[in-house]
Structure formats: C-alpha cells, structure tokens
Amino acid sequence: MVQIEDLGRIIDEHPFFQGIDGKLRGLLVGCAANERVDAGQYLFRQGGHADKFYLIRAGSISLEIHAPGRTIMVDTLTEGEVVGWSWLVEPYRWTFDARAQELTRLVSFDAKCLRGKMEADAELGYEVLRRFVPVMGHRLAATRLQLVDLYGPAE
C-alpha cells in the first residue's frame, strides 16, 4: 500500500508539480490516491462526472471520441503528463473517453476535496491554476495545429 509520504514524493517528482512548496504539496497529498488501470480499460467516459484528475506516472492514456461505427483517437498522454481539467470547470463533465493503451499507473486527485481546499486557500488555488493554464494553452494550440491538417493533400 502506498503511504502518504510516498504520495508526497511521487507528487514532488512528477513534472506537473515540480518545485511545489512543501505546505501546498501537503494539502494536495490529502486529496491524492494511487491508481492503476489495465490496458484497454477506461479511466473515464465522455459525459461522466469529472470527479478527479490524474498524473501519469507510467504508461499511456488515449483520449477518444466515439462515433457510430468508429472510435477516433484525438490525443495520447504519457508518463509525466496530466489527464483531465474538466474537474475545474462546471458542469464538471468529461468531454472525451480516456482509455489506457497499456498498463498505466497514476496518481488521482479527488476533485471535490481539492476544489474545497483551493476555495479555502487562495495560494493553493493560484498554484494549481498556474500549472493547469499552460497545459490548457498548449493543448489548445496543438488541437489547432491538428485542425490545420498539416500533412494533408496540397491544394
């Protein structure tokens, strides 16, 4: 079983929370849990309640959209990356399916627990958002590049 201090070390070593203040890390640990998901299993499904977010420690997660007769993969997230920001924005619903491509180990954070702590502690709230916003910006830019269809047929 993973101890509280181990979770603190894992959070410390993960690129997403690299360099975080010890006091804030302590608050995060109180909402964290260690998880694993086997290859092919879903971490969450589109439309489901976004009650967590995840740091990937090992493995890979594909984000997918299901359409009748086919599943479209839109992004893959791997070791060192964060999964999910729907927990930050109402109505807290997942907008994609997330499925493990291989055995994947993660740290999960309980959204309700963390939102409560962020409301109560503005420093924690700022720190978490400060780390999420660049991720959101980067993914938005990447999505726009995908839309450009860079390698498509020449016009």
Our finding on whether 35 is near other proteins (CB under 8 A) is: no
Our finding on whether 150 is near other proteins (CB under 8 A) is: yes
Torsion of CA 75, 78, 80, 83, to 10 degrees: 50
Our finding on whether 145 is near other proteins (CB under 8 A) is: yes
Our finding on whether 104 is near other proteins (CB under 8 A) is: no
Our finding on whether 149 is near other proteins (CB under 8 A) is: yes
Q: Which of 36, 76, 89, 119 binds other proteins (CB under 8 A)?
A: 76
The answer to whether 41 touches 104, Cβ cutoff 8 Å, is: no
Rounded to an integer, what distance in angstroms lies between the CA atom of residue 155 and that of residue 142? 22
Residues near 133 by Cβ (< 8 Å), separated by ≥ 6?
none
Our finding on whether 8 is near other proteins (CB under 8 A) is: no
Q: Which of 46, 48, 49, 101 binds other proteins (CB under 8 A)?
A: 101
